[in-house]
Amino acid sequence: MSEMNTEAGHPELDIPIPDTHRDAISLLDEHYQRDSPGLFAKMRRRHGPVVPVLMAWDVPAWLVIGYSELLQVTSDSELFARSFRRWNLGDRVPPQWPMWPLVGGGFATESMLYTEGEEHRRRSGVLGDGFARIDQWEFEEFCRRASRRLIEEFAQEGEAELILAYAQRLPVLALGWAVGAPEKYHDDLVTGFLQLMGAVGGDPNEGMVKVQAVCDELAEQALREPGPHIASHLAHSGLGLTRQQLSADIYVSIIAGHQTCANWIGNTIRLMLTDQTHANALTRGRRSVTDAAREVLKDDSPTQIFAGRWATRTTQLAGTTIQSGDLVMLGLAATHQDPLFRPPGQVRQRHHSRAYLSFSHGPHGCPHAARTLAEIITVTALETLLTHLPDLHLAVPADQLRWQPQVLIRALESLPVRFTPPVVSADPLGDSLWL
């Protein structure tokens, strides 16, 4: 990290802040939580496409916010590698550091997420095949039934808090079905993920423990009982995964899609209720719900930052010296503000480009089949909600909505809404019917 300043960044760390990061912006700054696009714009004016930042406990890193620079980092896995074991500060950051579960700590160290070279190609290829085996029509039908069931739970109240009651729950139901997680585990997964991401009270490491317990159970089940779901495919693919590796890959399969979809749904509903352009697109049929949801990935992407890559040798990136072993964070959302991606004057112009980087890019990007399933979850959630609660509106002024204090994900703390309860009758089999 270049020359070091003797002043330590945090009392629990023995890591001085380097001179390159002496006046760096902290990603825990309230400005980041309140207005990340505004802070990204400030970063770009001050530093250009590569920005020195401080994470929790003032741990230094580099944040790439340039579109072409991020493509370079994610494409060149030999220069910007994926294993956190290359981190030049890794042995100086204690286990209790709150961002370890998101950077490389916990049982996820055994997952394919941090593998490189041939091992990564084999394991990620099998995982991608597992997602591709899911019948998309059957998956969409499950999502539609699950969406309707969730809405029925609060529809007669005339009001709801949609983040926990809907946006956070549907992806667990859908991905649990795909991976092979029985419904009895879903509540623990939601709570664990939220805690892990810093969205609720408690230690993120405790959230990791809770999620690991579920994934360990799923791994044992998959090893015992071959089946059509992703966990079984991983277990019996010939990779020879250990139980720990299988559990970690199950974790990656669920959390990557869960957090993306949950907050993609929440952010889209917010824009639908607060931004006239998005409202017109979703409620007046000016574009399909699919096209409107894709625009939200550009305007209000749920994945703000992804961690990370590590430089395998000292190099230059957009004129900035990156030392060997430095942590490089991917500013996925910020790249959508890059003039190279969206020229000035076209900030609000709608187009159908899918060049956004919300799912990352390169050999470590999200598998294409998984991206398709994520879109199915999100679009189905929106279509079902709009169909059954067409007069949905905010229950509080828009300026009272608050963002969760997270670094990697842009997510609302809550989304209270009101609506007219739909008319319900019962069919001869005892199921409810909306008229």
> CB neighbours of 249 closer than 8 A, spacing ≥ 6?
111, 112, 123, 127, 234, 241
Crossing angle between the packed helical segments 243-274 and 368-388, to the nearest 10 degrees: 40
Q: CB of 254 within 8 A of CB of 229?
A: no
Judge if the upstream peptide bond of residue 308 is cis by omega within 30 degrees of 0: yes
Residue 347's pLDDT is what? 47
> CB neighbours of 147 closer than 8 A, spacing ≥ 6?
166, 170, 380, 381, 384, 385
Q: How far is CA 262 from CA 33, 52, 163, 378, 411, in A?
A: 18, 29, 8, 8, 9
Distance CA 196, CA 430 (A): 40
Distance CA 218, CA 241 (A): 14
Residue 314's pLDDT is what? 98
Sign, Cα dihedral of 357, 188, 413, 53: negative
Q: What angle do CA 153, 154, 160 make, to 5 degrees?
A: 145
Residue with tokens 């398709």: 372
Residue 349's pLDDT is what? 47
Distance CA 65, CA 418 (A): 38
Q: Are strands 25-26 and 50-54 parallel, antiparallel or unpaired?
A: parallel
Distance CA 407, CA 416 (A): 23
List, in order of start, the domains of the chain with CATH numbers: 1-95+304-357 (3.30.43.20), 100-105+118-287+359-435 (1.10.630.10)
The answer to pTM > 0.85 is yes
Q: CB of 343 within 8 A of CB of 350?
A: no
Mean pLDDT per 10-residue run, the chain (435 residues)?
Answer: 52 83 89 86 95 94 96 95 93 88 76 91 94 95 95 95 92 90 84 72 76 92 90 93 93 84 93 81 68 85 90 97 97 89 56 64 87 95 94 94 85 94 65 48
Q: Are strands 416-418 and 424-426 parallel, antiparallel or unpaired?
A: unpaired
Distance CA 212, CA 121 (A): 24
Instruction: Label residue 327 left, alpha or beta by phi (over 0 means left) and psi (-120 to 50 means alpha).
Output: beta
Joined together, the tokens standing for residue 205 give 């490491």
